[in-house]
Amino acid sequence: MELRARLIVEGFMVGMHRSPYHGFSVEFAEHRQYFPGDDIGNIDWKVYGRSDRLYIKQYEEETNLKAYILIDASKSMGFKRRGTVSKLEYASYLAAGLTYLMMKQQDATGLAIYDESVRRFFEPHLTYSYMKLLLTELSNLQPNSKTSTASALSTLAERIKRRGLIIVISDFLDDTKSVITALKHFRHRKNEVIAFHVLDDSEIDLDFPGDSVFADLETGERISTQASALKSAYRKRVEDFIHDLKSRCFENDIDYTLLSTSTPFDKGLTAYLMRRKKMF
């Protein structure tokens, strides 16, 4: 998982004109090799004079952001189509990339896993060994129990005492009004909030051929139907669900990002950086 997280972040950085690790602080930390596109103002010319090689000065963050990643690990998150990753696998990879990026930016990072209730909770810290602990937890994630996003988030809002950045990764297959009420609980405590809405492409498009049998992953209820006959009405319901959740988030100054399990992780990392930039 650590390798995957590093590859996600390094891949995200490729082609960027300025690394997301710069621009927020003033305390010198270390050197790294210069790459085309780096700000030449950060080149250490004294090192160049001694070694005839170009190196960039890197800096520590002077901010002290605490970030919490909250992951829905209910059974509905275990859904996937053949040959794809499940929503929970996608969520864990995104969370791993975010953890790696945030700690590189000197942001103390914590983690919570929930389903009907809060399953695991780790307070934010900023050490390499702690990052490995969080990545190990993410690598062992398994879907379990029913969804109760609203209840679990409300519990977490009471446990998180210090203002910070809250990142929620879920399919949000719960009562939208109750979910928003829970997210607003974080906002009332002066936290910044990002909601990553993770869905499988098939949940959005209902691209199943012919007669199909659908089983509810959380209740076991089964229904037989012809998906093609329902596709148009189904898509409309899903569009309404997404629009309602997105609109309610924006009304309450909550960042909302829709991610299918085929979406590049760059979109999630960019959303985090944009919100972080607004905070400082």
Do 70 and 56 fall into the same domain?
no
| pLDDT score for 16 | 52
In which band, very low, low, confident or very high, does the pLDDT at 20 lie, cut at 50, 70 and 90? Answer: very low
Tens of pLDDT along 233-269?
999 999 999 999 999 999 999 999 999 999 999 999 9
- The answer as to whether 247 is a domain residue is yes
Do 55 and 73 fall into the same domain?
no
Tens of pLDDT along 57-116?
655 444 568 999 999 999 999 999 877 899 999 999 999 999 999 888 888 999 999 999
Do 53 and 80 fall into the same domain?
no
| pLDDT score for 222 | 94
- The answer as to whether 119 is a domain residue is yes
Instruction: State the chain's mean pLDDT as an integer.
Output: 87
Q: What is the mean pLDDT of residues 181-195?
A: 94
- The answer as to whether 15 is a domain residue is no
Do 122 and 176 fall into the same domain?
yes
Do 51 and 168 fall into the same domain?
no
Do 54 and 72 fall into the same domain?
no
Residue 209 to residue 30: CA distance in whole angstroms: 56
Do 93 and 231 fall into the same domain?
yes
Check whether 28 has a pLDDT greater than 70. no
Q: Check if the beta carbon of residue 99 is closer than 8 Å to that of residue 131.
A: yes
Do 143 and 52 fall into the same domain?
no
- The answer as to whether 51 is a domain residue is yes
Do 94 and 33 fall into the same domain?
no
Amino acid code (one letter) for 11: G
Residue 47: domain span: 26-60
Check whether 278 has a pLDDT greater than 90. no
- The answer as to whether 208 is a domain residue is yes
- The answer as to whether 12 is a domain residue is no
- The answer as to whether 127 is a domain residue is yes
CATH number of the domain encompassing residue 159? 3.40.50.410
Check whether 17 has a pLDDT greater than 50. no
Check whether 35 has a pLDDT greater than 70. no
In which band, very low, low, confident or very high, does the pLDDT at 31 lie, cut at 50, 70 and 90? Answer: low
Total domain count, the chain = 2
Do 56 and 101 fall into the same domain?
no
Residue 109 to residue 130: CA distance in whole angstroms: 9
Tens of pLDDT along 146-187?
888 999 999 999 999 888 999 999 999 999 999 999 999 999
